[in-house]
Amino acid sequence: MPVDTAEKTRALTEQLAINPMDPKELLQTFGLVGVWVILFAETGLLLGFFLPGDSLLFLAGVAASPVADAMFGDGTKLSLTGLLIGAPICAIAGAQLGHFLGARYGRKMFERPDSRLFKREYVEKAEYYFEKFGPAKAVVLARFIPIVRTFLNPVAGVLGMPAKTFFLWNVIGGILWTDGIILGGYFLAESIYDVVGDHIDRYILPVVALIVLISVLPIFIEIIRERRARRRAAAIAAEDPAQTTPAAGRHSQV
């Protein structure tokens, strides 16, 4: 009995010690259920924004492919059907929960000081996409942008997007995002394995890194654009500091 207890304790300790940012480790430890839970948390709970949604989905597709054992070890193969059905359902349910919380509690949800897990700029970025692209397009596009896909859901509720309208675009975005990336990992893994054989792990992980880079690229592009816009505005103001004076004068004469 003491030996069994020690083994159970060690197994539990190993599970608790996993890196939540490592999608491969998450898949090997928690399997299909872990994918579902993480997708729900990342899209429905504000504290889940740091979880590896894109890379997790891609590696889940790899884990459902015929090369799963070569990549993750024996007995780690996931059900492709379970992924294609369960992943979008959990992502949609999580986002719908986020919308509900935003509609119910309003901006109180975001009235907290900045910390390592929450920054006001995350909310502002979600609001920016919501206003720039419109509610429908923003809900779909946000799925492919880390952090934004977590915060846009409650923001949509705060800004009064009807639950039925949100649900429609939430379903479309959820299916495109989850199943699209899963199938990408599934078919790409097969293609690479046909070429490189058992050395597939040398090539898949760089591909995952590339996917993570691409997924955060829109955020960096937007940051660069905003900085350039500020610099242009500052340059114009420096060249013509009295640019607004005539308008002010005309207003005072009316």
Tally of structural domains, the chain? 1
pTM of the model: 0.70
Give the per-residue pLDDT at 34.
87
| Structural domain contains residue 43 | yes
Give the per-residue pLDDT at 96.
96
Site of tokens 């308008």: 247
| Structural domain contains residue 148 | yes
Give the per-residue pLDDT at 243.
52
Give the per-residue pLDDT at 82.
94
Give the per-residue pLDDT at 24.
67
Site of tokens 């900045």: 114
| Structural domain contains residue 7 | no
Give the per-residue pLDDT at 117.
59
Which stretches within 77-162 are classed as H helix?
80-105, 120-133, 135-142, 148-158
| Structural domain contains residue 49 | yes
| Structural domain contains residue 162 | yes
Give the per-residue pLDDT at 20.
47
- Reading the chain (254 residues) residue by residue, the pLDDT tens digits are 444 544 443 443 333 334 445 666 777 777 888 889 989 988 888 766 566 678 788 888 988 988 777 776 667 788 999 999 999 999 999 999 999 999 998 888 777 777 665 677 878 888 888 888 888 988 998 888 888 888 889 989 988 999 999 999 999 999 999 999 999 889 888 777 665 555 555 666 676 667 667 666 766 676 687 778 878 888 888 776 655 444 444 444 43
| Structural domain contains residue 173 | yes
Give the per-residue pLDDT at 248.
46
CA separation (Å) from 153 to 18, 51, 177?
A: 28, 16, 15
Distance CA 22, CA 111 (A): 30
Give the per-residue pLDDT at 65.
87
| Structural domain contains residue 190 | yes
What's the chain's Rg over C-alpha atoms? 23
Distance CA 46, CA 98 (A): 8
Domain range for 108: 17-238
| Structural domain contains residue 140 | yes
